């Protein structure tokens, strides 16, 4: 055991000395805690990890707990020993534990180097939804486990994983042995997963495969070279992926056609991050809540509140069938009512119309966030670097410009260039075919999914807040929070030329219509009249005198309106990846997609249940939205 490991009091029966010795100088370490309970053990583990001189670059903890335990976490874990030892850690954890629900939720702690995935439900249900391989298992409450649960546990273990038992936990030794767990020779209450049979898949992530031992200090003598990854596209999708990979020890080069980051849709002056909701709590709704939680964490950590974001909640106005947004109309037609998810949305009337209040929602300026994500010592930005094709060159990717110039080389490439990914992939496919790149296979159907990407253009109208006494000064009666539904509205947003209001946005598949700016403003004004008639009257003079400014951009939309995340290459260890198709909700999806992509690339626990992850996966069956609706119809 390294001398730096502090003498720890075992908390609830676990001492982490043996764990800390095993994880020394590893790139990452994964712990599965089947009895997360009130978080005592986790706090002890966190403290051990923090204090360790040779700690792994990233620590992943997956904790299984009941809904009652999850709800208690938000209260701050106060009380007697041993929490007082870890009060600051307990408070940091509690701050992120608001409104936990059944299923998985990923919390990022210590700047994202510690990921905690809280899995709320029974151990049997939560183990079945994992796609992970633990290095260490903390086994609690397993005396009632049957052979199926123990087999499910075994499926979550790496070969060689150590199992520590909590005091009072006595799983059936025969069932353990049958599932491949052997008692450890040291005689502690400890077992090791070491089955006699060969495992079908020994998962290796890109981090492990391409650069084992890649830690934050990967250049240190004796360590393998850190894996290099090129990320194409410096919007919120690319920047969040770059950050997630840099935290995992990758050296990341980010290439963008624009001179500065956030030169595409992510140059949006402000956007709303607000969860989607639906009558059946669809995968899209559940994913958007997880994505919103992660995005709010990132904003809290990296942005200046009041200037670059504000987490004050968002009101979704529901104005009757004519004024409803598409998603809401769908819900209303199915149920006759709009659903509210406890904690995440509650009914709130505003004026004469019903609405839903989303307390965990915010406005965010995406460009400062992109800048902050890219601001990491392992990330280099290359502007005015439009990537035209990718070539294979001795187990690396070579990135070329349209003029044939070599822009860079990398072990892995992530395409995060929104609609631009389709052409780039199709050119690359031609190139590989022409050069007869033996052994390269595309994920089935993925080229068709890329061909189906659509650009939906949009305009956001904005103008200065009316000056006090100007006659148009009704701002004291304006909502102090953003409002969305049929279009969206936010006001009092800090800009270099004083506070502005924003009204949006249009959706156009036709680029010519999109180019007609007066028509775009008129469309936004019309939406505002429906959404907030009094506000529309107050800003009408600015529209009328053509003082309103326009910001324009294009959203990249997939065949089923969910992002496409995962490998492009069909291989045991793919080297070509995609993170695109954020649609109109990039702020709710990008941080989650980055976590998911990094998890797949590095063989880590997933941030969401495996069935939800599949609905974002590039390998999902290609079903269009219309086809989904047809199969759901009675």
Nearest distance, CB of residue 504 and ligand FAD, angstroms = 5
Pick between residue 90 and residue 556 the one whose CB is nearest to ligand FAD: 556
Give the whole-angstrom CA distance, residue 206 versus residue 580: 20
Q: Are 254 and 374 in contact (CB under 8 A)?
A: yes
Inter-helix orientation angle 236-247/366-374, to 10°: 30
Nearest distance, CB of residue 238 and ligand FAD, angstroms = 5
Pick between residue 56 and residue 366 the one whose CB is nearest to ligand FAD: 366
Pick between residue 181 and residue 397 the one whose CB is nearest to ligand FAD: 397
Pick between residue 20 and residue 244 the one whose CB is nearest to ligand FAD: 244
3-state secondary structure (DSSP) of residue 29: strand
Give the whole-angstrom CA distance, residue 232 versus residue 229: 10
Nearest distance, CB of residue 369 and ligand FAD, angstroms = 10
Pick between residue 8 and residue 551 the one whose CB is nearest to ligand FAD: 551
Strand partners, 484: 316, 488
Pick between residue 238 and residue 323 the one whose CB is nearest to ligand FAD: 238
Residue 581, Ramachandran bin (φ over 0: left; ψ between -120 and 50: alpha; else beta): left
User: Residue 348 burial (CB < 10 Å; 0-12/13-18/19+)?
Assistant: middle
Q: 207, 60, 195: which is closest to 136 by C-alpha?
A: 60
Pick between residue 237 and residue 294 the one whose CB is nearest to ligand FAD: 237
**Range 446-449, long-range pairs (CB < 8 A, 24+ positions):** 446/568, 446/578, 446/618, 446/619, 448/622, 449/558, 449/559, 449/564, 449/618, 449/622
Give me the numbers of helices (H) and strands (E) for the chain, helices first please.
Answer: 20, 28
Nearest distance, CB of residue 618 and ligand FAD, angstroms = 15
Radius of gyration of the chain (CA): 25
Nearest distance, CB of residue 346 and ligand FAD, angstroms = 21
Nearest distance, CB of residue 118 and ligand FAD, angstroms = 24
Pick between residue 532 and residue 582 the one whose CB is nearest to ligand FAD: 582
Pick between residue 318 and residue 506 the one whose CB is nearest to ligand FAD: 506
Nearest distance, CB of residue 481 and ligand FAD, angstroms = 14
3-state secondary structure (DSSP) of residue 116: strand
Provide the 10 A C-beta neighbour count for residue 22. Answer: 17
Pick between residue 303 and residue 584 the one whose CB is nearest to ligand FAD: 584
3-state secondary structure (DSSP) of residue 523: helix
Nearest distance, CB of residue 555 and ligand FAD, angstroms = 5
Chain centroid, CA 605 distance in Å = 13
Give the whole-angstrom CA distance, residue 457 versus residue 451: 18
Nearest distance, CB of residue 285 and ligand FAD, angstroms = 15
Residue 248, token pair as written in the block: 């995992």
Q: What is the DSSP letter of 362?
A: E
Q: Where are the beta strands (DSSP E) in 465-575?
A: 483-485, 487-493, 500-504, 549-557, 564-567
Backbone angles phi, psi at 105, to 5 degrees: -140, 130
Pick between residue 105 and residue 266 the one whose CB is nearest to ligand FAD: 266
Nearest distance, CB of residue 231 and ligand FAD, angstroms = 10
Give the whole-angstrom CA distance, residue 607 versus residue 562: 16
Question: Omega into 526 within 30° of 0, i.e. cis?
Answer: no
Provide the 10 A C-beta neighbour count for residue 172. Answer: 15
Give the whole-angstrom CA distance, residue 407 versus residue 592: 29
Nearest distance, CB of residue 254 and ligand FAD, angstroms = 9
- How many angstroms separate the Cα of 184 from the Cα of each of 17, 181, 202, 209, 299? 15, 9, 21, 28, 45
Nearest distance, CB of residue 420 and ligand FAD, angstroms = 2
Residues in contact with ligand FAD by CB under 6 A are 232-238, 255-258, 263-266, 268, 271-273, 366, 386-387, 416-418, 420, 424, 458-460, 504-505, 553-556, 580, 582-588
Pick between residue 15 and residue 258 the one whose CB is nearest to ligand FAD: 258
Pick between residue 417 and residue 569 the one whose CB is nearest to ligand FAD: 417
Pick between residue 374 and residue 580 the one whose CB is nearest to ligand FAD: 580
Angle at 173 between CA 169 and CA 174, to 5 degrees: 145
Nearest distance, CB of residue 538 and ligand FAD, angstroms = 22
Nearest distance, CB of residue 386 and ligand FAD, angstroms = 4
Strand partners, 461: 503, 550
Provide the 10 A C-beta neighbour count for residue 239. Answer: 33
């Amino acid at each position: 055991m390294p001398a730096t490991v502090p003498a720890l009091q075992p908390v609830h029966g676990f001492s982490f000395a043996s764990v800390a010795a095993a994880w020394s100088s590893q790139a990452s370490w994964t712990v599965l805690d089947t009895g997360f309970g009130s978080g005592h053990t986790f706090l002890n583990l966190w403290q051990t990890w923090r204090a360790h001189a040779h700690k792994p670059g990233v620590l992943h903890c997956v904790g299984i707990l009941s809904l009652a335990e999850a709800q208690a976490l938000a209260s701050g874990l106060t009380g007697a020993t041993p929490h007082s030892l870890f009060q600051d850690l307990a408070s940091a954890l509690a701050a992120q534990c608001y409104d936990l629900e059944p299923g998985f939720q990923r919390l990022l702690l210590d700047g994202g180097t510690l990921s905690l995935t809280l899995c709320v439900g029974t151990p049997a249900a939560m183990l079945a939804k994992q796609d992970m391989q633990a290095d260490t298992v903390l086994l609690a409450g397993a005396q009632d486990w049957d052979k199926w649960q123990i087999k499910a546990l075994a499926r979550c273990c790496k070969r060689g994983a150590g199992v520590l038992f909590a005091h009072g936990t006595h799983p059936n030794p025969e069932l353990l042995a049958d599932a491949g767990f052997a008692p450890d020779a040291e005689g502690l209450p400890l077992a090791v997963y070491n089955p006699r049979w060969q495992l079908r898949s020994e998962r290796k992530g890109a981090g492990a495969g391409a650069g084992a031992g890649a830690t934050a200090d990967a250049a240190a003598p004796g360590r393998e070279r850190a894996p290099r990854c090129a990320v194409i596209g410096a919007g919120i999708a690319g920047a969040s992926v770059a950050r997630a990979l840099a935290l995992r020890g990758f050296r990341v080069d980010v290439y963008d056609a624009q001179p500065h980051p956030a030169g595409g849709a992510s140059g949006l002056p402000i956007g709303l991050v607000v969860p989607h909701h639906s009558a059946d709590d669809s995968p899209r709704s559940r994913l958007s809540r997880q994505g919103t939680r992660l995005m709010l964490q990132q904003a809290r950590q990296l942005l200046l509140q009041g200037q670059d974001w504000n987490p004050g909640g968002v009101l979704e106005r529901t104005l009757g069938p004519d004024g409803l947004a598409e998603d809401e109309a769908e819900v209303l037609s199915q149920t006759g009512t709009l659903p509210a998810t406890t904690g995440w949305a509650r009914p709130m009337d505003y004026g004469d119309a019903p609405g839903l209040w989303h307390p965990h929602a915010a406005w965010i300026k995406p460009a400062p966030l992109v800048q902050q994500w890219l601001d990491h010592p392992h990330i280099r930005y290359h502007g005015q670097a439009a990537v035209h094709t990718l070539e294979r060159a001795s187990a690396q990717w070579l990135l070329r410009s349209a003029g044939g110039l070599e822009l860079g080389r990398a072990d892995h490439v992530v395409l995060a260039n929104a609609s631009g990914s389709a052409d780039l992939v199709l050119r690359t496919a031609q190139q590989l075919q022409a050069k007869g790149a033996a052994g390269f296979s595309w994920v089935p159907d993925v080229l068709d999914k890329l061909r189906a990407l659509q650009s939906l253009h949009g305009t956001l109208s904005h103008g200065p807040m009316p000056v006090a006494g100007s006659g148009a000064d009704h701002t004291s009666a304006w909502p102090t929070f953003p409002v969305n539904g049929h279009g969206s509205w936010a006001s009092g947003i800090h800009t270099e030329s004083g506070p502005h209001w924003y009204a949006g946005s249009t959706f156009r598949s036709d680029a010519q219509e999109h180019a007609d700016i007066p028509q775009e403003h008129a469309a936004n004004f019309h939406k505002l009249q429906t959404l907030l008639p009094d506000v529309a009257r107050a800003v009408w003079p600015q529209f009328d005198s053509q003082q309103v400014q326009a910001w324009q951009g294009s959203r990249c939309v997939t065949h089923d309106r969910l992002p496409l995340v995962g490998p492009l290459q069909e291989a045991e260890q793919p080297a070509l990846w995609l993170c695109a198709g954020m649609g109109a909700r990039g702020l709710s999806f990008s941080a989650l997609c980055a976590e998911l992509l990094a998890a797949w690339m590095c063989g880590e626990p997933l941030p969401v249940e495996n069935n939800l992850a599949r609905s974002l996966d590039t390998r999902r069956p290609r079903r269009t939205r219309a086809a989904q609706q047809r199969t759901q119809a009675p």
